[in-house]
Amino acid sequence: METKDQYAVYGNPVKHSKSPQIHAAFAEQTGQQLHYRARKIELEHFAEAATKFFSHGGKGLNITVPFKLDAFEFADQLSGRARRAGAVNTLALQEDGSVYGDNTDGIGLVRDIHSNLGWELSGRRILVLGAGGAVRGILGPLLKQRPAHVLVANRTVSKAQSLAKNFESLGHVAGCSYEGLTSGQFDLIINGTSASMRGDLPPLPHHILSNDGCAYDMMYGAEPTPFMRWAAGETAWAVSDGLGMLVEQAAESFCIWRGVRPDTKPVMDLVRQSLSA
242 annotated binding-site participant: yes
> Would the annotation count 184 as a binding residue?
no
Cβ atoms of 25 and 267 within 8 Å: the answer is yes
152 closest CA partner among 161, 143, 144: 161
Q: Which of 127, 172, 166 is nearest to 148 (CA)?
A: 172
155 labelled as ligand-binding?
yes
Q: Is 182 annotated as a binding residue?
A: no
Task: Give the contacts of 78 (CB within 8 A, at least 6 positions apart).
Answer: 72, 88, 100, 101, 102
Tell me: is residue 158 an annotated ligand-binding position.
yes
The reply to whether 122 sits in an annotated binding site is: no
Ligand-binding site membership of 261 (annotated) = no
103 is in an annotated binding site: no
Please check if 196 is assigned to a binding site. no
Flag whether 244 is marked binding: no
Tell me: is residue 82 an annotated ligand-binding position: no
Q: Is 18 annotated as a binding residue?
A: yes
User: Known binder of ligand: residue 85?
Assistant: no
- Of 205, 260, 200, 266, the closest CA to residue 234 belongs to 205
**130 annotated to bind ligand:** yes
CA torsion angle 6 12 16 17 (round to 10)? -40
Does the annotation count 4 as an active-site position? no
Please report, as a single letter, which amino acid is at residue 86.
G
Are 256 and 102 in contact by the 8 Å Cβ rule? The answer is yes
The verdict on whether residue 89 carries a ligand-binding annotation is yes
Residue from 40, 52, 59, 68 carrying the catalytic annotation: 68
Cα separation of 100 and 111, whole Å?
Answer: 22
Numbered residues of the known binding site for NADP(+): 130-134, 154-159, 218, 242
For the annotated catalytic residues, the residue numbers are: 68
> Binding site for shikimate, residues?
17-19, 64, 89, 105, 220, 249
Residue set of the binding site: 17-19, 64, 89, 105, 130-134, 154-159, 218, 220, 242, 249
